[in-house]
Amino acid sequence: MFREAIERMAPYTPGEQPRPGQRLVKLNTNENPYPPSPGVRRAIIAEAGASLRLYPAPRADAFVAAAARLYGLPRGMILAGNGSDELLTMLFRAALGHGDRVAYALPTYSLYDTLAEIQEARIVAIPLGLDFALPLEALAAEQAQLTVVCSPNSPCGTAASPEALAVLARRLGRNLLAIDEAYADFAETNALALVRRHRNVIVLRTLSKSFSLAGMRLGLLFAQPPLIETLLKVKDSYNLSRIAVAAGAQALADAGWMRRNVERVKRTRAASEERLRKMGFTVPPSSSNFVLARLAGRDMGPVCAALRRRGVLVRHFPNSVFRDALRISIGTPAEMAALFKALEPLIKPVIAARPRRRARG
Ligand SMILES: Cc1ncc(COP(=O)(O)O)c(C=O)c1O
């Protein structure tokens, strides 16, 4: 009944979202444990009236204007999306047709696979290098129509340097380089400045993580005006609601609130990394709001399930080289204490048992 490619493909599986009233410590989808700014609440209430009869601004003007002020870029270089997932969808739709090539390093955000399969594009998957390093040479050699770099990357949390990304952008010439910076506010550096210098670079951000607005669905895409104009052709006319536009504009105006929450998350991240390492996990230094805790050669699926039974949600990726890892979002100190209380007794017997086989990757 549908296109064969769609019938054949596996659906994207989002992390579990608890039902209302379910009491779980939720450390599985990298949300922010702290609320959005009080100003955001006021902006939402102010918008929730008679104006809702009217369609919203097609280009989310107030939100884009606030982004232009915060990031120091002209409005013509900014596109607003219903979450960065929508912006990624627009990008894949506009850039890739049947048989076109899209390249990225694996493991990474698995939505890229889904979006490529919808387009019937060919995925060029290149393994991450040692210590999760960006395989710059291999990606450049491919010269795919679209290259995607997730930095900081999920699920390992490590970031590529802006210098390496600038080299990659140059090497890709007229082919597109999209840099997914969903977690950039938790990192020490970012690559946003590259959009000024490179006509082929697109940077994506989200308000779901650092700005505590996953439920509002707000994303931003930065690129030079000709790329923005082309992407607009595949955009839904009114992709952001009036409420989302108001909330997004206020959240960006209150960026100081976001930065304070990011600092709190980073402090809890440092303490959590140290504690996980003491327990015997290998933890790559994270530049994001989650950590990847690995026990080489041990399948962490049963530990993830046992944590779930004890009321703690974390993420496990059974079909990846990170089967031996848990991805743990950084919560409040109290949430992390609950995690460790549940995790420590589960891990002791796993460490005592001999690993079944060596981990790859
Ligand atoms: C790497 C990456 N990009 C994009 C997104 C999607 O963000 P949004 O909530 O803005 O759609 C996520 C969400 O987890 C992510 O991990």
* φ, ψ for residue 345, nearest 5 deg: -65, -25
DSSP 12-36: P-PPP-PPTT---EE-SS---SSPP
- The confidence score (pLDDT) of residue 361 equals 43
Pocket test of ligand 1: the residue of 13, 85, 112, 207 to mutate, having most ligand atoms within 8 Å of its CB, is: 85
**Same fold for the pair 18-34+256-352 and 38-254:** no
Q: Is the pLDDT reported for residue 148 higher than 90?
A: yes
* Nearest C-alpha neighbor of 140 from the set 106, 175, 112, 94: 175
Q: Which tokens go with 180?
A: 């997914």
- Given 3.30.200.20, 3.40.640.10, 3.30.450.40, 3.30.110.60, which CATH number is that of 38-254? 3.40.640.10
Q: Which tokens go with 210?
A: 């650092």
Task: Please return the burial class of 50, using the count of CB atoms within 10 Å of its CB with bins 0-12, 13-18 and 19+.
Answer: exposed
* Nearest C-alpha neighbor of 150 from the set 198, 185, 184: 184
Q: Is the peptide bond before 107 cis (omega within 30 degrees of 0)?
A: yes
**Residue 150 in contact with ligand 1 by CB distance below 6 A:** yes
* φ, ψ for residue 149, nearest 5 deg: -120, 125
- Given 3.90.1150.10, 3.40.309.10, 2.60.40.10, 3.40.190.10, which CATH number is that of 18-34+256-352? 3.90.1150.10
- The pLDDT > 90 percentage for the chain reads 92
Residue with tokens 């994001």: 288
pLDDT, tens digit, for every residue of 151-209?
999 999 999 999 999 999 999 999 999 999 999 999 999 999 999 999 999 999 999 99
**R_g of the chain computed on alpha carbons:** 21
Q: Is the pLDDT reported for residue 219 higher than 80?
A: yes
* Nearest C-alpha neighbor of 196 from the set 227, 172, 218, 219: 227
Pocket test of ligand 1: the residue of 13, 29, 82, 109 to mutate, having most ligand atoms within 8 Å of its CB, is: 109
State the Cα–Cα distance between residues 252 and 248, nearest whole angstrom. Answer: 6
Helices (H), 299-332: 301-309
**What is the average pLDDT value for the chain, to the nearest integer?**
96
- The confidence score (pLDDT) of residue 335 equals 98
- The pLDDT > 70 percentage for the chain reads 98
Domain boundaries, given as residue ranges, for the chain: 18-34+256-352, 38-254
**Residue 317 in contact with ligand 1 by CB distance below 6 A:** no
Q: Is the pLDDT reported for residue 138 higher than 90?
A: yes
- Between strands 176-180 and 201-206, the pairing is parallel
The pLDDT-based confidence of 352 (bands split at 50, 70, 90) is confident
**Residue 290 in contact with ligand 1 by CB distance below 6 A:** no
In the chain, what is the straight-line distance between the N-terminal and C-terminal CA atoms, in Å?
40
CA 300 to chain centre: 22
pLDDT, tens digit, for every residue of 276-323?
999 999 999 999 999 999 999 899 999 999 999 999 999 999 988 999
Q: Which residues pair with 104 in a beta bridge?
A: 125, 148
Specify the range with the lowest mean pLDDT, choosing from 9-13, 202-206, 263-267.
Answer: 9-13
**Residue 82 in contact with ligand 1 by CB distance below 6 A:** no
State the Cα–Cα distance between residues 119 and 108, nearest whole angstrom. Answer: 19
